A and B are shown apart, each in its own frame.
Chain A
């Protein structure tokens, strides 16, 4: 039997209800201020195993929740389920609400949930500026350019707009990827071991930068990590147990 080992203390009491039966309709929660991100998991299954069952995470704007657990416990799959990028072989039953709106039936691009992996995934054929422009919706060119310039300044990459991403250092690439993710104006941010490939000093700096941006912009963030140093708030940690064969 899999269970949630810790639940955020500010999760509304109404949400501590028995797990939904498969097929139940999960309606938006009626709260005055809905959580920025509300994840209700009845079950997350891979072929032959149940990875997560009965999980409920509600995050207010600007909060960071950490998911920890052994490899194969379903942490990254859970992020994929939130973003809508779950492999077709996996099965997710539950609901994802962003600012009170249910989004799990929407395609990834309509969910307003940004993703950051441990690899920066900057597009190699584009300059840093073009990578950032890619995240901004259509609009007047001058306004888009101004947004890019401001974002680059925020991550201390002002002089690198026209640079080839391949020529940047690991830390610079990670900051460019963060700037790109934030430019898409997300309401939630999923971080899949985002600092794992950085050295200790860079990791601390990047962590501070990410958490400050999340707080400043009022974005709910879900962090998957193996590193206890990535825990921002000890009250907002979920440890996932090992997968159970079905």
Chain B
């Protein structure tokens, strides 16, 4: 995959894109699935947040977020395929229930039904996976603000004021907190939109096949030996980038123009309604929906993980049997035997997460406050770029450095891909630090280095450990950068899982997908243990001994 194409060839051959038979439909699919996934994920996240998540709801829901974030998109998509496919577990379960009505059914119940419940032509499966995967990311972005002590206290106080003015807790949230929170979520939203529009691996696994989304087409074209086809692929990537920017700009303009017909404006600034009036019931309904989602989303994730676990140890399993005829650990033996894949995944994840953490901490410690704000905006740039464009950029950088298809190149590509996530996950904890602590330590005669070692970093231990785990999880999930920069010479659990997704080795595929989740989950568990709160001994006075 040589990304260096002459500009004339790019313009000439790229223009052929418009004449391609599948182009219009692929673009429409990309735009519709991307928009639907972004808006649905935003709506669902808002409803979940309106239950008071981060402000007054129990912290157990927020505590489940790392586990959900640790499950990579590819593993989630593969788990959904195992659940939803015509021969998947859910249909087996449904067919078992319907067996007494077999005579009345339009198709025989002893064979998978003749419909496409995954890779459907309308991209519904793709939208479902994207929505379920992007909700935890948006919640994470929102909680970064909501869990800042200063912000949380101010908003909780404003909610109390709204309550004294006659608003229900839900109405108060939509009218007081949401209008302040939404603009702060512009970065995560842009990242979700860009990802949903240009995702390749998930769309390849569960998205439509004929035609696929434009990102999948572009990826296929970019791998072609013919430079003219590659130019077409590059033109498709550039078009996706343009679409990302244009739609994001349009959305921002609509928001700034206070378009009155937008429902949230009515919910957030409409006339005050009495507690039991029709309008007030709407916010109560949204909160109920949010509470349902708070319970069902973790359950869905658990089901997906269970399906992967199930699939990885299932032997022969003819349709419509609910349980496999035999159990086998063959897939796991094969997975654990592929030491190079595991080794590459581990060293790459640890090295890139470590590098990104050091880099992020250095930026946060050394840059003055106004620069920091610019840095956080810049950190969203790699997230807001179409993943193909980002991967091509990384490949060009590595070629320029002479690191193409080398371990150094892969380390650099993963570190750069991981860095924004690590930085953004440290944004909230660093903002919550009281700057007077450093001044106080200095007034006590201690150097800044002593303050960092003895006060600031121990205080941030949980956040630093979590940021490292986030970085590791992001590195494990990288597909395109590994493929483009590694030149096919390096295999990770993600590249293996995607490669196996088009084959028939269900148990091996499930084992690799599960490993994609298990490795980051172990790191998140370790991070939780490292960041656990210190237990203090009870003072003598409290024990009545002094």
Contact = CB atoms under 8 A, between A and B. Distances in A.
Contacts of B538: 163
Contacts of B444: 109, 114, 134-135, 180-181, 183-184
A179 B143 CA distance: 37
A112 B436 CA distance: 17
Interface string B434-446: 1011011111111
A109 B445 contact: yes
B455 A123 contact: yes
B374 interface: no
Interface residues of B, number: 28
Interface in B524-542: 534, 536-542
Closest CB pairs A-B (n = 7): A159-B541, A159-B546, A164-B536, A108-B442, A163-B539, A85-B439, A115-B443
19 contacts: A83-B442, A85-B443, A109-B442, A109-B445, A112-B445, A117-B436, A121-B436, A123-B455, A126-B455, A134-B441, A135-B445, A159-B541, A160-B541, A162-B537, A163-B536, A164-B536, A181-B444, A183-B444, A186-B443
Interface string B309-338: 000000000000000000000000000000
Interface string A96-113: 000000000001111111
Most buried by B among A88, A113, A115, A158: A115
Interface in A142-163: 158-163
Contact of B546 (A107, A123, A127, A158): A158
A74 interface: no
Given A84-B442, A109-B441, A119-B434, 4 more contacts: A114-B443, A115-B440, A167-B542, A190-B443
A159 B540 contact: yes
A180 B441 CA distance: 10
A125 B434 CA distance: 14
Given A121-B436, A162-B539, A134 B546 contact: no
B442 A85 contact: yes
A80 B435 CA distance: 13
A186 B539 CA distance: 29
Nearest to B455: A123
Contacts of A180: 444
A107 B444 CA distance: 12
B8 interface: no
Interface of B: 368, 434, 436-437, 439-447, 454-455, 458-459, 461, 534, 536-542, 545-546
A127 B536 CA distance: 7
A110 B444 CA distance: 9
Nearest to A177: B440
A125 B459 contact: yes
Contact of B437 (A84, A121, A163, A164): A121
Most buried by B among A111, A134, A161: A134
A80 B541 CA distance: 37
A124 interface: yes
Interface string A171-214: 00000000011011010001000000000000000000000000
A179 B538 CA distance: 21
Nearest to B460: A125
A137 interface: yes
Nearest to A160: B539
Given A83-B439, A108-B439, A123-B437, A159 B455 contact: no
A218 to B, nearest CB: 18
Given A108-B439, A117-B436, A121-B434, A162 B446 contact: no
A200 to B, nearest CB: 24
Contact of A88 (B368, B447, B458, B536): B368
A239 B441 CA distance: 29
B539 A159 contact: yes
Contacts of A159: 539-541, 545-546
B440 A117 contact: yes
Contacts of B445: 109-110, 112, 135, 137, 184
Contacts of B540: 159, 162
Given A160-B541, A162-B536, A121 B368 contact: no
Most buried by A among B459, B536, B545: B536
A236 B545 CA distance: 45
A184 B454 CA distance: 16
A167 B539 contact: yes
B186 to A, nearest CB: 27
A53 B458 CA distance: 41
A125 B539 contact: no
A83 B459 CA distance: 24
Contact of A134 (B368, B454, B539, B542): B454
B536 A167 contact: yes
A164 B455 CA distance: 15
B233 to A, nearest CB: 49
Given A159-B540, A163-B536, A163-B542, A108 B459 contact: no
Contacts of A110: 445
Nearest to A109: B442
Nearest to B446: A109
Interface string A53-85: 000000000000000000000000000100111
B443 A113 contact: yes
A186 B446 CA distance: 13
A245 B43 CA distance: 47
Contacts of A114: 443-444
Contacts of A134: 441, 444, 446, 454-455
Nearest to A110: B445
A115 B454 contact: no
A183 B446 CA distance: 12
B277 to A, nearest CB: 42
B443 A83 contact: yes
A109 B541 CA distance: 34
A223 to B, nearest CB: 15
A243 B437 CA distance: 27
Contacts of A183: 444
A160 B542 CA distance: 9
A107 B442 contact: yes
A167 to B, nearest CB: 7
Nearest to B438: A85
Nearest to A190: B443
Contacts of A111: 443
B545 to A, nearest CB: 8
Most buried by A among B446, B538, B545: B446
Nearest to A86: B439
B81 to A, nearest CB: 45
Contacts of B437: 121, 123
Most buried by A among B445, B446, B534, B540: B445
A109 B539 contact: no
Contacts of B436: 117, 119, 121
Contact of A184 (B443, B537, B541): B443
Most buried by B among A109, A113, A167: A109
A117 B436 CA distance: 9
